Amino acid sequence: MKRTARDIFLSAIFLFAGLPAGQLTGQEAGSAIKQLSPLQQVYLLKQIKPDIKRIGILCNLENRAALPKVLSRISAQFKIKIVLYDTRKKQNLAKNFKALVKKEKADAVWVFPDEVLNYKSATQYLIKQAVTSKIILVTYDPEQVKKGATLAARIENGEMKVYINQKAADMLGLHPGEQLSNSASIVMN
Q: Using one digit for the tens of pLDDT, what is the confidence trace for 87-121?
A: 999 889 999 999 999 999 999 999 998 888 888 89
**CB neighbour list of residue 115: distance below 8 Å, 6 or more residues apart:** 60
Q: DSSP string spanning 5-74?
A: HHHHHHHHHHHH-SSSTTTTT-PPTT-SEEEPPHHHHHHHHHHH-TT--EEEEEE-GGG-TTHHHHHHHH
- Phi and psi for 105 in degrees, rounded to 5? 55, 45
Question: For the CA atoms of the chain, what is the radius of gyration?
Answer: 15
Smallest CA-to-CA distance from 106 within 74, 134, 86 is with 134
Q: What pTM does this model have?
A: 0.81
Average pLDDT over residues 157-172: 91
Please write the tens of the pLDDT for every residue from 22-35.
Answer: 333 344 445 688 98
- The third-level CATH classification (topology) of the domain covering 5-188 is Rossmann fold (3.40.50)
**CB neighbour list of residue 96: distance below 8 Å, 6 or more residues apart:** 58, 85, 87
Q: What is the pLDDT of residue 168?
A: 92
Measured CA to CA, the distance from residue 83 to residue 54 in angstroms comes to 7
Q: What is the pLDDT of residue 178?
A: 74
Q: Mean pLDDT over all residues of the chain?
A: 83
Task: Report strand pairing: 136-139 vs 54-59.
Answer: unpaired
Statement: residue 7 has pLDDT above 60 = no
Smallest CA-to-CA distance from 10 within 183, 186, 185, 187 is with 183
Estimate to the nearest angstrom the gap between the alpha carbon of 93 and the chain centroid.
17
Q: Are 137 and 127 in contact (CB under 8 A)?
A: yes
